[in-house]
Structures are given as structure tokens and as C-alpha cells.
Chains A and B, each alone.
Chain A
Amino acid sequence: MPEERPARSARGLWNGSISFGLVNVPVSLFPAYRQVSTGLRMLAPDGTPLERRYWCPRHEREVAYDELVRGYELDDGSFVVLTDEELEGLEPRKSRDIDLRRFVPIDALDPLTFDRAYILAPAGDSTKPYRLLADAMEESGTAGIATFVMRTREYIVAILARGGILRAETLRFHDEIRTPADVDLGERPDADPRSVEAMKEAVARASRDAIVRSELQDEHARRLEALARGKRRAGEGVIEVDEAVGEDAADGQVIDLMAALKQSLRAQPKRASPDASDTRSSAKELASRTRAELYEEARRRDVPGRSSMSKAELVRALSGRHAP
């Protein structure tokens, strides 16, 4: 029953385990960024939000999402088709784990390597292994390094602890970062020691103890919002839309992820086995999840043909189905 579900950790973008020696810490991964609504919607001249649809130029007709396949283009212009199942099958044996085998000083990580930040919430019966790892890591000043696969892509990740919370920062691979030589930058030009001293003084004069959050604000986003608010006050160009459909529905999901993260961090240890609720997922509860979440569930239960299923088909395939 949905009312009993809060004890089960809300599911993040990725769910798996951090393995630390023989200790496995189940975690749920959430973004450390909010989706900010700077993106402008595309509208028809009459103000209706437009939909993005796929068109096959050979058949000269629209193609639904579940008629699409993913293709890798060869030099001769033909394509090799790869299915989701095939890509998943390539995941390494322990891809559901973030296997921490190496701890490095946080300061040793190259600033150019950091890509995106995530927050990890405990997902198991007990928060104890999570807290133990967070506590011990924070004190050591190190980051645990591992690779893991999320949505058919491999990431190097640095796991860091701060304030009792585990964070994951994806890192760029070595070959994704250009060196100064790659962009033909020579050695640092020699400067007269007096120029260096003068520059140091200028830097010192412009130095402050702290950064100011307002300096990191997106001014353009603010002006855009002010313009839109002004127009609404004047009653110009205001459009009411149904957010249950189209691209706006995705925004709601992102906001939910934030709420889900906070809930997961706060969740009390529960008594039931983590899979007990999964075996009796009601169709109604399943329908409230996104296709990506349903797909993840289908993959866990090894539902055949899942990659070509629509959301409704995934709900049908999963409801009443028992975990193996």
C-alpha cells in the first residue's frame, strides 16, 4: 500500500552500494543541483506549448518513442543498433557497486577534473554503515575513488564526506581533459620579479575573506524572471497550461527528487526487508513513477523486452509481478 511506503527510501537517479572492503553500504544517488527554470519553453504563435516529436523522413510520418532504436554510425553511413539490454549486459560484474579500493588526499584531485556533484543518501535497513563510512572518511581528509556505471555510461567518482553526508563527484576521465600542451600553450612566460611583486600587491588589495553568494547569482535569469513578472502584473501574454503533460511534467520530477533526497537522509531505520514492498507494487503506485524509474525496476526484475516498453506497458508488466 502506498501509505506504508515512506519507510522505503525514495529512489534516486541511481541505486546501488558503496563497497568498502567487505562492507556494503546501500545508497541512493541524488543530484546536488536544483533544476533552475531559466530554460524558456517553446510556444506556437497562439501561445500553446509545443511538443517535440520524431519524424521519419523515409516513411514521411511521425514515429512514437517506442519505435525508436539507438544506432552507432559507421564510417560508411550505416548503423549498428544497440539495445538497452545489450548495453546493460556490458556493465562490469560489480557495476551496481561503487567499489572504494583507493583513498586519495582530497587536495590531490585536479580542479579541472570535477564534473558534476551528487549527494548520497542511505538506502538500506540501517544508517549505521553509512554513518560509519562518512565519519571515518571526513576525519581522514581523503576521497574514495571508484568507477561505476549509471544509465549506460561509466563514471569515475570521488566519494567525499562532509557534515556527516556522503557526496559523490563525478570526475572527467584523463583523456577528456586537455593539457596546456594540447592547446599549444607554451611554458609560463618569465616575468620580471618586480612585475610579480606588483601583481601580488594588486591581488592582495582585491582580496577578501569570503565569497558573496550574490556574486554567484545568474543575473540574466533574474532579469528574465523580473521581465516575466512585470508582464504578468500588466496582464500581458499570460498563458495557463496543463502541466500534467509535455515537457513541464519533467520539472515536477526534479523538484520531487530534492524532496526525496531530504526524506531519504531523514528516514528512520525500518524493520521490513527492503524488497518486501517491491513484490506487491500496485498498478496505481507504479503509475505514479516515471518511466525511468519503472525501467530501473523492470531491469532489476529482469523483465524481458523492457527496453521497448512504453510506460503503460511497464506498469502492466510490473504490477503483481513477484521479484525472483
Chain B
Amino acid sequence: MARAIWKGVIRFGEAQVPVRLYSAVTEGRIHFRLLHGDDLVPVEQRLVHPRTGVVVSRSAVRRGYRLDAGTLVMLGEDELATLQPDRSRIIDVKRFVDPSRIDHRWYDTPYWLGPDGDEEAYGALSSALEDAGREGVARWVMRRRTYVGALRAERGRLALITLRSADEVVADAELEAPEGRALSAQELSMARQLIAALAGEWDPAEWRDEHRERVQELIEAKRAGRTIRLEDYRSEPTGEEALREALAKSLEAARNGQAVA
């Protein structure tokens, strides 16, 4: 039985839906340890005073907030403790919006929500969100930290996806699109046709982490004392003059069902 990592109650208006929270992701990457090259012993990380070279223990470490370049303000444990949010079990839904309002860029870590005692309320909320096409913006405190998240109906269940903060996400208005001479209508048309020719379904199972598999193979080969051949490759950028020809050839290949490139 998968263990819930937290329990809370979704609340908005008069509605209350008790839920259990489960992690929806697993880390797939291969982990390495840092070793001393001479003896292949894992190294420890130590916090050292740069001038005296004295090792400072975790309990003696003080905290500093960087206000501006070159200025830190030292904060005491007692001061930091006053900033911790109060413990709470409430997942407070501030509002429901059209899901298109929350762009993917904001998504951070997803969690599944399961019912916690009130199946009726859980079933009703997930059906209601699905039928209405709505997504909630919620705020909650978990492990003494405040989170903001998107509450969604997902595959017939409820999911909560933590959101990045407004200070972090670069706004569209800050960026200017590259400019240049007007695009040719014919090239644009060919590019659109090529996209249409390469249109397909999204099947996540089709995309494998082949690099991870190769790293595993290399590890196996090295353990067995075998060697592996290495290779390198780079592409040449397409110049403006060659653009039309490259599009035309690609389009032809795509239409004939051949592999492009």
C-alpha cells in the first residue's frame, strides 16, 4: 500500500473534502557519488570558515539573507522561527479558473489526492471539476512550508500540482520576439504543411530515456572490463538561401512516408 505523505482538507465556501496526498513522480535518473580520485572513497562535504580553515558544525551554522550584491543580514534561529507558517490541515482554494489560465511553465511537482474518509465529497468534487472544466488555485501549509498549487481533475481523480512563484516565472511581456525581414508566404506554407505531415498522437510510452539505458550499459561494460566506442556529431545550420529547398525536400520525404533528415 502506497503511503500517503500528508493529509488535509480541501475547503472553499461551505465545501470540505478530506484528502490524502501521494507523490505522483519518481526520480528516474541515475545517481552518482563524488569520490576522491586517488582511492575511490566517497568524499564528505564540510562547511569550512574560508579564512581560518576551521570546520563549522551544522548546529553552529548561522543563516544570512542576501539583500543586495555584497550585503548579507544575519538572522537568528528565533527570528526565522517567527516566519514559519502555523500548522494547518486546510487546503484553501482561493478561486477556480479556466485551466488555460495556468500555463505549464508554472507547474512544479504533481501529487495525487485520494479520499480520506469522505468518498462522496471526493467523488463529487472530481466530477464537478471535470464537468465544469475548472481548475482551483489553492494554498496550504505542509511540513512548515506554504505551497500554492493547481487543483485539477485528472484521469477521474484529483491532482494537486505545486506552482512556482510569481517572482520566479519570467513574464511573456518581458521578452521581445526576434525580428527580421518578412517571411515568404510560400516558405510559411511549406513549413505548415511539413508540420501537418509530421502530426501524430502523443504516446508517452514511446519516448524512452535511451541515454540512461546507455549509461547503464557503460557501467556494465566497465564492470566487466570491456571498452565502448565513442562518437561525435554536429549539424550544419540551414542558410536563408537553402531554406526553401530544404523545406521542399523534407515535405516530399514526409509525404512519401520516408524518414526525414
Contacts and interface: CB of A to CB of B under 8 A. Distances in A.
Given A100-B198, A104-B200, A154-B211, A265 B28 contact: no
B223 interface: yes
Given A188-B123, A208-B97, A129 B198 contact: no
Interface in A114-151: 114, 117, 119, 121-122, 124-137, 139-140, 142, 144-145, 147, 149
Contact of B64 (A128, A171, A175, A239): A239
Interface string A91-106: 1111111011111110
Main secondary structure of the interface of A (DSSP, over half): mixed
A200 B218 CA distance: 54
* Interface SS, B side: mixed
Contacts of A231: 73-75
Contacts of A169: 104-105
Given A57-B41, A178-B23, A23 B180 contact: no
Interface in B122-139: 122-129, 131-132, 134, 136-137, 139
A137 to B, nearest CB: 6
Contacts of B125: 199, 203
A25 B14 CA distance: 54
B257 interface: no
Contacts of A236: 73
Contacts of B164: 33, 216
Contacts of B143: none
Nearest to A34: B168
A112 B207 contact: no
Given A71-B32, A185-B112, A215 B148 contact: yes
A186 to B, nearest CB: 8
Interface in A164-188: 164-165, 167, 169, 171-180, 182-185, 187-188
Contact of B61 (A32, A37, A42, A258): A42
Contacts of B128: 196, 199-200, 202-203
A305 interface: no
A243 B28 CA distance: 36
A87 interface: yes
B104 A114 contact: yes
B254 interface: yes
Contacts of B163: 216
B157 interface: yes
B202 A136 contact: no
B191 A195 contact: no
Contact of B96 (A23, A162, A203): A203
Interface string A57-82: 11100110001111111100011111
B25 A49 contact: no
B235 A111 contact: no
Given A56-B43, A203-B96, A119 B175 contact: yes
Contacts of A112: 24-25, 110, 154, 159, 161
B170 A140 contact: no
Contacts of A68: 34-37, 43
Given A94-B233, A206-B93, A110 B204 contact: yes
Contact of A153 (B34, B169, B211): B211
A55 B46 contact: yes
B192 A174 contact: no
A187 B123 CA distance: 10
Contacts of A191: 119-124, 127
A173 B45 contact: no
Contact of B177 (A80, A229, A258, A265): A265
Contacts of B237: 17, 24-26, 124-125, 129, 274
Contacts of A103: 195-196, 198-200
Contacts of A124: 237
B236 interface: yes
B93 A81 contact: no
The 3 nearest A-B residue pairs measured at CB: A21-B250, A89-B230, A164-B177
Given A49-B64, A52-B46, A216-B166, 11 more contacts: A23-B243, A86-B230, A104-B199, A128-B181, A130-B178, A139-B192, A165-B177, A182-B2, A191-B120, A196-B131, A217-B166
